[in-house]
Structure 1
Protein backbone atom coordinates (compact mmCIF):
# COMPACT_ATOMS: atom_id res chain seq x y z
CA UNK A 1 0.00 0.00 0.00
CA UNK A 2 2.88 2.32 0.78
CA UNK A 3 4.35 1.69 -2.68
CA UNK A 4 1.05 2.66 -4.34
CA UNK A 5 0.94 5.93 -2.37
CA UNK A 6 4.53 6.69 -3.34
CA UNK A 7 3.76 5.96 -7.01
CA UNK A 8 0.65 8.18 -6.86
CA UNK A 9 2.63 11.08 -5.37
CA UNK A 10 5.29 10.73 -8.06
CA UNK A 11 2.70 10.51 -10.85
CA UNK A 12 0.78 13.53 -9.60
CA UNK A 13 3.99 15.56 -9.42
CA UNK A 14 4.96 14.52 -12.97
CA UNK A 15 1.63 14.53 -14.74
CA UNK A 16 1.25 15.83 -18.26
CA UNK A 17 -1.82 16.42 -20.39
CA UNK A 18 -0.61 14.17 -23.29
CA UNK A 19 -0.31 11.27 -20.84
CA UNK A 20 -3.91 11.86 -19.79
CA UNK A 21 -4.93 11.90 -23.44
CA UNK A 22 -3.14 8.57 -23.91
CA UNK A 23 -5.08 7.14 -20.95
CA UNK A 24 -8.35 8.39 -22.41
CA UNK A 25 -7.46 6.97 -25.85
CA UNK A 26 -6.67 3.59 -24.24
CA UNK A 27 -10.03 3.58 -22.48
CA UNK A 28 -11.92 4.52 -25.64
CA UNK A 29 -10.06 1.83 -27.60
CA UNK A 30 -10.93 -0.85 -25.03
CA UNK A 31 -14.56 0.28 -24.90
CA UNK A 32 -14.90 0.19 -28.70
CA UNK A 33 -13.22 -3.23 -28.77
CA UNK A 34 -15.74 -4.48 -26.19
CA UNK A 35 -18.62 -3.13 -28.28
CA UNK A 36 -17.25 -4.84 -31.38
CA UNK A 37 -17.01 -8.14 -29.48
CA UNK A 38 -20.62 -7.84 -28.29
CA UNK A 39 -21.93 -7.04 -31.76
CA UNK A 40 -19.99 -9.91 -33.32
CA UNK A 41 -19.91 -12.77 -30.79
CA UNK A 42 -19.06 -15.34 -33.46
CA UNK A 43 -15.85 -13.42 -34.25
CA UNK A 44 -14.89 -13.51 -30.56
CA UNK A 45 -15.60 -17.26 -30.39
CA UNK A 46 -13.44 -17.79 -33.46
CA UNK A 47 -10.65 -15.77 -31.87
CA UNK A 48 -10.57 -17.82 -28.67
CA UNK A 49 -11.01 -21.17 -30.44
CA UNK A 50 -7.26 -22.08 -30.22
CA UNK A 51 -7.41 -22.01 -26.42
CA UNK A 52 -11.00 -23.21 -26.10
CA UNK A 53 -9.80 -26.82 -25.82
CA UNK A 54 -8.85 -26.06 -22.21
CA UNK A 55 -12.48 -25.31 -21.40
CA UNK A 56 -14.20 -22.20 -20.23
CA UNK A 57 -14.90 -20.82 -23.69
CA UNK A 58 -18.31 -19.48 -22.78
CA UNK A 59 -16.86 -17.91 -19.62
CA UNK A 60 -14.27 -16.12 -21.74
CA UNK A 61 -16.93 -14.83 -24.12
CA UNK A 62 -18.90 -13.43 -21.19
CA UNK A 63 -15.80 -11.97 -19.48
CA UNK A 64 -13.89 -10.33 -22.32
CA UNK A 65 -16.51 -7.98 -23.76
CA UNK A 66 -17.91 -6.61 -20.46
CA UNK A 67 -14.42 -6.29 -18.98
CA UNK A 68 -13.33 -4.24 -21.99
CA UNK A 69 -16.44 -2.05 -21.85
CA UNK A 70 -16.53 -1.38 -18.12
CA UNK A 71 -12.75 -1.19 -17.84
CA UNK A 72 -12.59 1.18 -20.79
CA UNK A 73 -15.10 3.55 -19.22
CA UNK A 74 -13.25 3.45 -15.91
CA UNK A 75 -9.93 4.14 -17.61
CA UNK A 76 -11.39 7.07 -19.59
CA UNK A 77 -12.59 8.75 -16.41
CA UNK A 78 -9.55 7.70 -14.40
CA UNK A 79 -11.67 5.89 -11.86
CA UNK A 80 -9.91 2.94 -10.19
CA UNK A 81 -7.56 2.87 -13.17
CA UNK A 82 -5.13 0.33 -11.76
CA UNK A 83 -7.93 -2.12 -10.91
CA UNK A 84 -9.45 -1.72 -14.36
CA UNK A 85 -6.07 -2.41 -15.95
CA UNK A 86 -5.51 -5.47 -13.77
CA UNK A 87 -8.79 -6.83 -15.18
CA UNK A 88 -7.47 -6.20 -18.72
CA UNK A 89 -4.10 -7.94 -18.28
CA UNK A 90 -5.37 -11.56 -18.54
CA UNK A 91 -7.33 -10.64 -21.66
CA UNK A 92 -4.31 -9.03 -23.32
CA UNK A 93 -2.01 -11.91 -22.37
CA UNK A 94 -4.64 -14.27 -23.79
CA UNK A 95 -4.76 -12.23 -27.01
CA UNK A 96 -1.00 -12.60 -27.38
CA UNK A 97 -1.21 -16.32 -26.59
CA UNK A 98 -4.02 -16.86 -29.10
CA UNK A 99 -1.96 -15.15 -31.80
CA UNK A 100 1.08 -17.28 -30.98
CA UNK A 101 -0.82 -20.59 -30.77
CA UNK A 102 -3.39 -20.06 -33.51
CA UNK A 103 -3.14 -18.20 -36.79
CA UNK A 104 -0.62 -15.38 -36.44
CA UNK A 105 -2.02 -12.02 -37.49
CA UNK A 106 0.81 -9.51 -37.35
CA UNK A 107 -1.54 -6.54 -36.95
CA UNK A 108 -3.45 -8.19 -34.09
CA UNK A 109 -0.38 -9.27 -32.16
CA UNK A 110 1.22 -5.84 -32.63
CA UNK A 111 -1.97 -4.19 -31.34
CA UNK A 112 -2.09 -6.59 -28.37
CA UNK A 113 1.57 -5.91 -27.48
CA UNK A 114 1.08 -2.16 -27.82
CA UNK A 115 -2.06 -2.20 -25.67
CA UNK A 116 -0.33 -4.40 -23.09
CA UNK A 117 2.60 -1.99 -22.96
CA UNK A 118 0.35 1.04 -22.46
CA UNK A 119 -1.63 -0.83 -19.81
CA UNK A 120 1.55 -1.77 -17.95
CA UNK A 121 2.65 1.87 -18.09
CA UNK A 122 -0.62 3.04 -16.52
CA UNK A 123 -0.53 0.17 -14.03
CA UNK A 124 2.60 1.77 -12.53
CA UNK A 125 1.90 5.42 -13.41
CA UNK A 126 -1.70 5.51 -12.21
CA UNK A 127 -4.43 7.77 -13.50
CA UNK A 128 -2.70 11.14 -13.09
CA UNK A 129 -4.02 14.52 -11.97
CA UNK A 130 -6.84 14.86 -14.51
CA UNK A 131 -8.84 11.92 -13.24
CA UNK A 132 -11.71 10.99 -10.98
CA UNK A 133 -9.29 9.26 -8.60
CA UNK A 134 -7.39 12.50 -8.06
CA UNK A 135 -10.61 14.49 -7.72
CA UNK A 136 -12.04 12.14 -5.09
CA UNK A 137 -8.73 12.05 -3.26
CA UNK A 138 -8.71 15.84 -3.02
CA UNK A 139 -12.28 15.82 -1.63
CA UNK A 140 -11.18 13.90 1.47
Structure 2
Protein backbone atom coordinates (compact mmCIF):
# COMPACT_ATOMS: atom_id res chain seq x y z
CA UNK A 1 0.00 0.00 0.00
CA UNK A 2 2.86 2.35 0.78
CA UNK A 3 4.27 1.78 -2.71
CA UNK A 4 0.96 2.86 -4.28
CA UNK A 5 0.93 6.03 -2.16
CA UNK A 6 4.49 6.81 -3.18
CA UNK A 7 3.68 6.27 -6.86
CA UNK A 8 0.56 8.45 -6.58
CA UNK A 9 2.51 11.29 -4.95
CA UNK A 10 5.17 11.10 -7.65
CA UNK A 11 2.56 11.00 -10.42
CA UNK A 12 0.66 13.96 -9.01
CA UNK A 13 3.85 16.04 -8.90
CA UNK A 14 4.70 15.09 -12.49
CA UNK A 15 1.29 15.21 -14.15
CA UNK A 16 1.11 16.66 -17.61
CA UNK A 17 -1.95 17.19 -19.75
CA UNK A 18 -0.57 15.17 -22.74
CA UNK A 19 -0.27 12.11 -20.49
CA UNK A 20 -3.93 12.49 -19.53
CA UNK A 21 -4.77 12.72 -23.23
CA UNK A 22 -2.80 9.51 -23.79
CA UNK A 23 -4.84 7.80 -21.04
CA UNK A 24 -8.07 8.99 -22.65
CA UNK A 25 -6.88 7.85 -26.09
CA UNK A 26 -6.04 4.42 -24.65
CA UNK A 27 -9.52 4.19 -23.19
CA UNK A 28 -11.16 5.25 -26.45
CA UNK A 29 -9.08 2.69 -28.36
CA UNK A 30 -10.07 -0.10 -25.98
CA UNK A 31 -13.72 1.01 -26.14
CA UNK A 32 -13.67 0.83 -29.95
CA UNK A 33 -12.03 -2.63 -29.79
CA UNK A 34 -14.68 -3.76 -27.30
CA UNK A 35 -17.47 -2.56 -29.58
CA UNK A 36 -15.87 -4.26 -32.58
CA UNK A 37 -15.63 -7.54 -30.62
CA UNK A 38 -19.27 -7.23 -29.52
CA UNK A 39 -20.49 -6.52 -33.04
CA UNK A 40 -18.27 -9.04 -34.81
CA UNK A 41 -18.12 -12.17 -32.66
CA UNK A 42 -16.92 -14.25 -35.61
CA UNK A 43 -13.76 -12.15 -35.78
CA UNK A 44 -13.11 -12.75 -32.08
CA UNK A 45 -13.64 -16.48 -32.54
CA UNK A 46 -11.22 -16.43 -35.47
CA UNK A 47 -8.61 -14.63 -33.37
CA UNK A 48 -9.05 -17.22 -30.61
CA UNK A 49 -8.63 -20.12 -33.06
CA UNK A 50 -5.11 -21.05 -31.80
CA UNK A 51 -6.43 -21.60 -28.25
CA UNK A 52 -9.72 -23.32 -29.09
CA UNK A 53 -8.51 -26.71 -27.80
CA UNK A 54 -7.35 -25.31 -24.46
CA UNK A 55 -9.66 -25.58 -21.44
CA UNK A 56 -11.50 -22.35 -20.69
CA UNK A 57 -11.16 -20.95 -24.19
CA UNK A 58 -14.86 -20.02 -24.37
CA UNK A 59 -14.54 -18.23 -21.05
CA UNK A 60 -11.69 -16.20 -22.52
CA UNK A 61 -13.77 -15.31 -25.57
CA UNK A 62 -16.63 -14.10 -23.38
CA UNK A 63 -14.26 -12.13 -21.12
CA UNK A 64 -12.51 -10.06 -23.79
CA UNK A 65 -15.30 -7.82 -25.10
CA UNK A 66 -16.89 -6.83 -21.75
CA UNK A 67 -13.48 -6.27 -20.15
CA UNK A 68 -12.47 -3.94 -22.99
CA UNK A 69 -15.82 -2.17 -22.94
CA UNK A 70 -16.12 -1.58 -19.19
CA UNK A 71 -12.40 -1.11 -18.60
CA UNK A 72 -12.22 1.51 -21.33
CA UNK A 73 -14.98 3.58 -19.72
CA UNK A 74 -13.14 3.49 -16.40
CA UNK A 75 -9.80 4.38 -18.02
CA UNK A 76 -11.26 7.35 -19.91
CA UNK A 77 -12.85 8.69 -16.73
CA UNK A 78 -9.76 7.96 -14.69
CA UNK A 79 -11.79 5.97 -12.18
CA UNK A 80 -10.17 2.83 -10.73
CA UNK A 81 -7.62 3.10 -13.51
CA UNK A 82 -5.13 0.62 -12.12
CA UNK A 83 -7.83 -2.00 -11.54
CA UNK A 84 -9.22 -1.51 -15.04
CA UNK A 85 -5.75 -1.90 -16.50
CA UNK A 86 -5.12 -5.03 -14.46
CA UNK A 87 -8.21 -6.49 -16.13
CA UNK A 88 -6.78 -5.56 -19.55
CA UNK A 89 -3.31 -7.06 -19.05
CA UNK A 90 -4.25 -10.75 -19.48
CA UNK A 91 -6.09 -9.90 -22.68
CA UNK A 92 -3.17 -7.95 -24.11
CA UNK A 93 -0.60 -10.54 -23.10
CA UNK A 94 -2.84 -13.15 -24.72
CA UNK A 95 -3.05 -11.03 -27.88
CA UNK A 96 0.74 -10.95 -28.12
CA UNK A 97 1.03 -14.69 -27.47
CA UNK A 98 -1.70 -15.58 -29.99
CA UNK A 99 0.30 -13.76 -32.67
CA UNK A 100 3.21 -16.11 -32.00
CA UNK A 101 1.15 -19.30 -31.64
CA UNK A 102 -1.16 -18.77 -34.60
CA UNK A 103 -0.74 -16.91 -37.83
CA UNK A 104 1.49 -13.86 -37.38
CA UNK A 105 -0.15 -10.54 -38.22
CA UNK A 106 2.50 -7.89 -37.75
CA UNK A 107 -0.01 -5.02 -37.51
CA UNK A 108 -1.96 -6.79 -34.77
CA UNK A 109 1.26 -7.65 -32.95
CA UNK A 110 2.52 -4.06 -33.04
CA UNK A 111 -0.86 -2.72 -31.93
CA UNK A 112 -1.04 -5.23 -29.06
CA UNK A 113 2.52 -4.46 -27.94
CA UNK A 114 1.98 -0.69 -27.97
CA UNK A 115 -1.28 -1.08 -26.05
CA UNK A 116 0.37 -3.46 -23.57
CA UNK A 117 3.27 -1.08 -22.94
CA UNK A 118 0.89 1.86 -22.55
CA UNK A 119 -1.19 -0.12 -20.06
CA UNK A 120 1.93 -1.06 -18.08
CA UNK A 121 2.91 2.63 -18.00
CA UNK A 122 -0.49 3.64 -16.61
CA UNK A 123 -0.44 0.73 -14.18
CA UNK A 124 2.66 2.31 -12.65
CA UNK A 125 1.79 5.96 -13.25
CA UNK A 126 -1.86 5.91 -12.20
CA UNK A 127 -4.62 8.11 -13.54
CA UNK A 128 -3.06 11.54 -12.96
CA UNK A 129 -4.57 14.81 -11.75
CA UNK A 130 -7.23 15.15 -14.42
CA UNK A 131 -9.21 12.11 -13.34
CA UNK A 132 -12.08 11.08 -11.13
CA UNK A 133 -9.67 9.21 -8.84
CA UNK A 134 -7.88 12.47 -8.06
CA UNK A 135 -11.15 14.40 -7.75
CA UNK A 136 -12.63 11.94 -5.25
CA UNK A 137 -9.38 11.81 -3.30
CA UNK A 138 -9.43 15.61 -2.93
CA UNK A 139 -13.06 15.52 -1.73
CA UNK A 140 -12.13 13.46 1.35
The normalised TM-score by structure 2 is 0.99
> Matched residues in 2 for 1:40 and 1:16: separation?
36
Q: Tell me which residue corresponds to 1:75.
A: 75
Q: Tell me which residue corresponds to 2:84.
A: 84
Which range moves more in the overlay, 53-62 or 118-127? 53-62
SS at match of 2:53: helix
Unaligned runs of 5+ in 1: none
| Partner deviation per Cα, 1:81-124 (whole Å, 9 max, x = no partner) | 00000000000000001000000000000000000000000000
> Matched residues in 2 for 1:96 and 1:124: separation?
20
Q: Tell me which residue corresponds to 2:61.
A: 61
> Matched residues in 2 for 1:57 and 1:39: separation?
19
Q: Tell me which residue corresponds to 2:47.
A: 47
CA displacement at 1:55 relative to structure 2 = 2.1
> Matched residues in 1 for 2:119 and 2:102: separation?
24
SS at match of 1:104: coil
> Matched residues in 2 for 1:47 and 1:87: separation?
19
| Partner deviation per Cα, 1:35-93 (whole Å, 9 max, x = no partner) | 00000001101101101211222211210000000000000000000000000000000
> Matched residues in 2 for 1:56 and 1:128: separation?
36
Q: Tell me which residue corresponds to 2:14.
A: 14
CA RMSD of aligned residues (A): 0.5
